[in-house]
Structure 1
């Protein structure tokens, strides 16, 4: 997201003139406020994301006896800026987006979403179906590789960390490297032959195949990461423990049956979480030099 877009997002959020969730905690059940919720670039467009996640945030606001506004950002950095500026009361963030925001603002994860009843997923690298790859990434030197936005866990952080710490390569010289694409764009680029390989995550690939946007045989998985924690529900620094406990109770009470109407396909509820649940993501961020270790 450009600095201009971030400024516009900040202005829009500030214009809401709402009361922060943490500040309203003592009278949570007695007063009705307008809460500011945010969701990152989880689907191809911000409007797609907003529509898909609106039922969940509407449910949360109802349980908190509040009105709400929902803002969908086009990159994770914009979410961190908004959270740091005190313009969001709660956000649904990707793991790396959360760690970026936590490192700069001190915001806190309180729950992790379950996907098909699992609180984890995997980063993947997909490739053209005709590629002959016996050993990844050695056999792919010189091919066209598309990484996702630098705020993406599976599309940038994790493969960058693997390249540095495990594969011992420089991705920008080992491949004909580009970065900054959305996950959907990466899938489409490989299918269209515009890239030989691209980063993604297993949940997104499966969803795009199910929706018909990607043909099952249009790519193959060349590499799969170790399990990674799913998306986080995040509140700003200073949010009281009473409010954190209340939100945890609301989201973890969502049943598999309720999730069918409140959450996008395959999401089945939440488990309690805290910052420690995302320690592996934080470690990777420090290793690749994108964040600094806390004193």
Structure 2
């Protein structure tokens, strides 16, 4: 689940400034619109984590301690809960507008003051939580696994979509593409994946392809990572690429909103059920505060729950167990330490 890869992950100085999104339709450099453009700033997972740590340290110093310990006491005597969100909406301002009322309610329920920040992509949220630079994050499943692996982050709630705690990764094809069998018939075609912090847009499809003996970077004629979920769907709908990754909930939302039609692209592969987005807390957060936060999410008032953007319908208490399958995938791919 991702919007952009490898930017400055949390913009504390300008949380209302829209982030830049690399949209495939616009072209890049000498490459015309409709062509896949590998990200010139692509980093390995290890390089990404090192780079992110340095950026966050710089931001921390510039923010005069804004990311210090969570129990910062305000003038009113309330602790400050620092919440980090991924790019849930098209811009940071949109994400704040949608989610701030929800998290204000949560903060009020636990007797805290809210500090809400929006990251540019999902990988950055994992870095912030594992480094204990935020207290709580609403994040993709793979991002949570990364944060647990590197910083012992703890899940407290899973997000419900239409009342269910699961969703599916998908691969879609442009309309009219001749594809008798997948993945065998896709050799030499163009593939657009999302950023490496995305569960359904990178981890799960990459693991599936490698389980079939396929290295995506050499199997496909053109291969790129780092597109937003919306841009990847649109690229197939407009026949700019042959194949793209994504997830069913997002595609269904685009169809419901009229952004694409059901026949704008074709689902050629669907994963087994995957655990939905997770609300996780940093490892050092007080257990009593963690329990209070979990209770606040699960018991969210109906009038606040109704403000959740479609297709979210609420929160349910969870543990690490549903996410262990993603941990296994990460180890299989060599991006998680044993």
- What's the TM-score, normalizing by structure 1? 0.89
Q: When you count strand as a share of all residues, which structure comes out higher?
A: 1
Computed over aligned residues only, the root mean square deviation of the Cα atoms, in angstroms, reads 2.3
2:200 pairs with 1:157: no
Counterpart for residue 286 of structure 1: 331
Gaps of 5+ in 2: 1-5, 12-51
Which deviates further from its counterpart, 238-247 or 179-188? 238-247
Preserved contact between residue 146 and residue 198 of structure 1 (Cα < 8 Å): yes
> Within 5 Å, which residues of 2 pair with 1:24-173?
31-165=77-211, 167-173=212-218
1:210 and 2:259 aligned: no
CA contact (8 A) 1:161 1:288 kept: yes
1:16–1:47 distance in 2 versus 1, CA, 3 Å: farther
Give 1:265's match in structure 2, choosing from 307, 310, 320: 310
Contact 2:68-2:133 at 8 Å conserved across structures: no
Please tell me whether the aligned partners of residues 110 and 289 of structure 2 are also in contact (alpha carbons under 8 angstroms): no
- TM norm structure 2: 0.78
Which of 152-161 and 232-241 deviates more?
232-241
The residue matched to 2:193 in structure 1 has which SS? strand
CA distance in 2, matches of 1:196, 1:14: 44
> How many Å separate the matches in 2 of 1:280 and 1:105?
19
Q: CA 1:53–1:16 in 2, change beyond 3 Å: closer, same or farther? A: farther
d(CA) in 2 for partners of 1:130, 1:267: 32
> Residue by residue, what CA displacement relative to the aligned partner does 1:158-200 show, whole Å, maximum 9, x if unpaired?
00110112x2211111112111111111011112221111000
8 Å CA contact 2:132–2:282 kept in 1: the answer is yes
**Bigger helix share:** 1
| Contact 1:128/1:219 (<8 A) preserved | yes
Secondary structure of the corresponding residue to residue 158 of structure 1: helix
Partner Cα distance (2:164, 2:171) in 1 = 21
Q: How many residues align?
A: 286
- Structure 1's unaligned 5+ residue stretches are none
User: Is the Cα–Cα contact under 8 Å of residues 305 and 313 in structure 2 kept in the other structure?
Assistant: yes
Aligned to 2:59: 11
Once residues 8 and 238 of structure 1 are traced to their aligned partners in structure 2, the CA distance between those partners, rounded to angstroms, is 18
Q: 1:19 Cα shift?
A: 6.8
Distance 1:210 1:10 in 2: 41
CA distance in 1 between partners of 2:165 and 2:64 (Å): 35
Counterpart secondary structure, 1:148: coil
CA contact (8 A) 1:10 1:87 kept: no
The verdict on how the C-alpha distance between 1:256 and 1:130 changes in structure 2, with shifts beyond 3 A counting, is farther
| Deviation at residue 109 of structure 1 after TM alignment | 0.8
- Judge which range, 249-258 or 138-147, deviates more: 249-258
**Structure 1 stretch displaced more, 198-207 or 9-18:** 9-18
* Deviation for aligned residue 1:290: 1.0
CA distance, structure 1, for counterparts of residue 291 and residue 262 of structure 2? 42
Please tell me whether the aligned partners of residues 102 and 304 of structure 2 are also in contact (alpha carbons under 8 angstroms): no
Residue 195 of structure 1: SS of its match in structure 2?
coil
